[in-house]
Structures are given as structure tokens and as C-alpha cells.
């Protein structure tokens, strides 16, 4: 059984090669970098939409890429339960393609924020978090200007267990100083109701090797290891 993962490359992506590197060389899974117009879902068991500035963030971050044929292909994967991860700009694309609900607005500070933050695991049953434990606190960097999560239907998100991560202090408390962009309820990442599609602003691919982490942590790896195990379970 060979597992194949696609990392979609949109014009303006800049974290695509980081994701490919981690999947191939850290997690050790067969991974292809695929140009967005060439992506065919039938060849892949899972897909990553990486970070960057697809189509220059014109009109609204993620909206142009959301109309790419790659998203029509990914929609088939969404429906048949294969894992889909959107990181940063990838999260913005998943929101604009309506794979995930809500909106990502300009940071409350109006500044681009690039730093290591802590996120607390709220839902440990998704395709990308089932090897984590609820209430675990992960160290992961962020780098974005438009990451302020907003929804007009928070109740539904909570009732459906769609909040996956919240920004927190290192000891797991939700405080405004630990919320880097003013997200509603400190939300850092969410999933669809079926839990096979996750989007988050932090960058797990930048937190998967101890040499890159100020605290020598490798919490980002757990996202990708969870995905591989999720795929293995689906295939057996």
C-alpha cells in the first residue's frame, strides 16, 4: 500500500516546498508538488493547501484560488472523506471555497504578525489531530496579516465540535494577550462537520523539526503523522 499526498502549488504560494520537505523527508511519505491547474484527485489519498499569497491575495485572501479547478477536485475528496489540510493561506482558500464556515479578516492590530505562538487542542478526533490529546498545548509559528477568524454562527460551530485549536498561553489559558490577531473566541483552526478537513492559521510544516524550534519541539509533525495513520485506517 503506497500512500500518496499532493501539495497544491498556486501562483504566489511560498510555503509549498516546506510542506513537501516535511512530508517527504521528515514523515517519509510519497508526496507530489502539483500545479493547481493539473491536480487530479484520483491519484492522491490526501491533499495539503499550503501557505503563501495565492494570486497576490487580490480581492480577498484565498478567493481567487477558491475558484481554481484544484478546488473542484478537492471537493470530491472532501465528500468521500479523504483528508484535506489548509495551512494559513490554505485555510483562507478553504474558507472562501466554503469547505469551512466563517471568514478570516485583517488582524485586529492591522499588522502582519510573524512569531511562535501556543495553540490548545480542542478537538482531538479530526484526521489531523487524532494523535494529539484534548487540552495539549502545541508550539507552532504563525505568519499572517489576515487571520482574525470570525463567524456569525459560533453556537453551531461549538455544537458540531468544529473548533479544533484555540490560541492560548503556554499553560493553556485563553487570554487576550495570547490571541495574536483578535480571532473570535481565540479560534486558530476549525474543521468540517465530518472532521476530514482542517484549516488553521499556524504553520505545522515550520514546526516539525527540532532544529527550527526555539524550544526544540516537533509538534507540527503530529499533524502529518495523524493524517498518514488516518489514511492507513481508511484503506484497511
Partner 1 sequence: MDQMEFIIEISLENKPAARDPVAETIKRDLLAKKGYDIVSKVRSGQYLRLILKANNEEDAKEIVTNMCNDLRIFNPVTQNLNIINVKKL
- Quick one: which segment of 10-18, 71-79, 120-128, 145-153 binds partner 1 (CB under 8 A)? 145-153
Active-site residue, 225 included: no
* Coil/strand/helix, residue 122: coil
Distance CA 50, CA 8 (A): 7
Binding flags for partner 1, 33-62, as an x/- string (CB under 8 A): --------------------------xx--
Residues 95-134 that bind partner 1 (CB under 8 A): 96, 98, 101-103, 105-110
**b vs e for 99-121, b when ≥16 Cβ sit within 10 Å of the residue's Cβ?**
bbbbebbbbeeeeebeeebbbbb
Least separation in angstroms between CB 184 and partner 1: 9
Question: Coil, strand, or helix at residue 127?
Answer: coil
Active site residue 146: no
Nearest to 224 by CA among 95, 128, 118, 151: 128
Catalytic-labelled residue, pool 88, 130, 197, 219: 88
Considering only 89, 129, 151, 168, the residue that binds partner 1 (CB under 8 A) is: 151
Per the residue annotation, which of 41, 146, 205, 225 is the catalytic one?
A: 205
CA–CA dist 120, 118 (Å, integer): 7
3-state class (DSSP) for residue 112:
coil
Q: Which of 40, 67, 79, 232 binds partner 1 (CB under 8 A)?
A: 67
- Cβ atoms of 196 and 82 closer than 8 Å: yes
Q: 203 catalytic, yes or no?
A: yes
Cβ proximity of 140 and 224 under 8 Å: no
Judged by CB under 8 A, the residue of 63, 137, 143, 212 near partner 1 is 63
Query: Cα(146)–Cα(60) distance, rounded to whole angstroms?
Result: 9
Minimal distance, residue 113 CB to partner 1, in Å: 13
Whichever of 64 and 132 has its CB closer to partner 1, that residue is 64
Among 21, 145, 182, 234, contact with partner 1 (rule: CB under 8 A): 182
Binding residues for partner 1, per CB under 8 A?
Answer: 59-60, 63, 66-67, 96, 98, 101-103, 105-110, 150-152, 182
Amino acid at each position: 500500500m503506497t500512500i500518496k499526498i499532493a501539495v497544491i502549488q498556486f501562483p504566489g504560494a511560498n510555503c509549498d516546498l516546506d510542506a513537501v520537505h516535511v512530508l517527504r523527508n521528515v514523515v517519509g511519505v510519497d508526496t507530489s508538488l502539483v500545479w493547481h491547474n493539473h491536480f487530479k484527485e484520483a491519484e492522491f489519498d490526501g491533499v495539503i493547501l499550503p501557505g503563501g499569497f495565492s494570486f497576490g491575495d487580490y480581492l480577498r485572501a484565498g478567493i481567487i484560488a477558491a475558484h481554481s479547478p484544484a478546488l473542484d477536485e478537492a471537493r470530491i475528496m472532501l465528500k468521500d472523506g479523504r483528508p484535506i489540510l489548509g495551512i494559513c493561506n490554505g485555510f483562507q482558500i478553504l474558507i472562501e471555497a466554503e469547505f469551512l464556515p466563517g471568514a478570516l479578516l485583517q488582524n485586529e492590530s492591522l499588522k502582519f504578525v510573524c512569531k511562535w505562538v501556543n495553540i490548545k487542542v480542542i478537538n482531538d478526533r479530526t484526521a489531523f489531530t487524532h494523535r494529539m490529546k484534548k487540552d495539549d498545548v502545541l508550539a507552532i509559528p504563525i505568519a499572517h496579516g489576515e487571520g482574525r477568524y470570525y463567524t456569525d454562527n459560533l453556537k453551531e460551530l461549538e455544537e458540531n465540535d468544529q473548533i479544533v485549536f484555540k490560541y492560548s498561553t503556554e499553560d493553556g489559558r485563553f487570554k487576550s494577550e495570547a490571541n495574536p490577531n483578535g480571532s473570535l473566541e481565540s479560534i486558530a483552526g476549525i474543521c468540517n462537520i465530518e472532521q476530514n478537513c482542517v484549516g488553521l492559521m499556524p504553520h505545522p510544516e515550520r514546526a516539525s523539526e527540532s532544529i527550527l524550534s526555539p524550544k526544540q519541539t516537533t509538534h507540527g509533525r503530529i499533524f502529518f503523522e495523524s493524517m498518514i495513520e488516518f489514511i492507513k485506517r481508511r484503506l484497511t
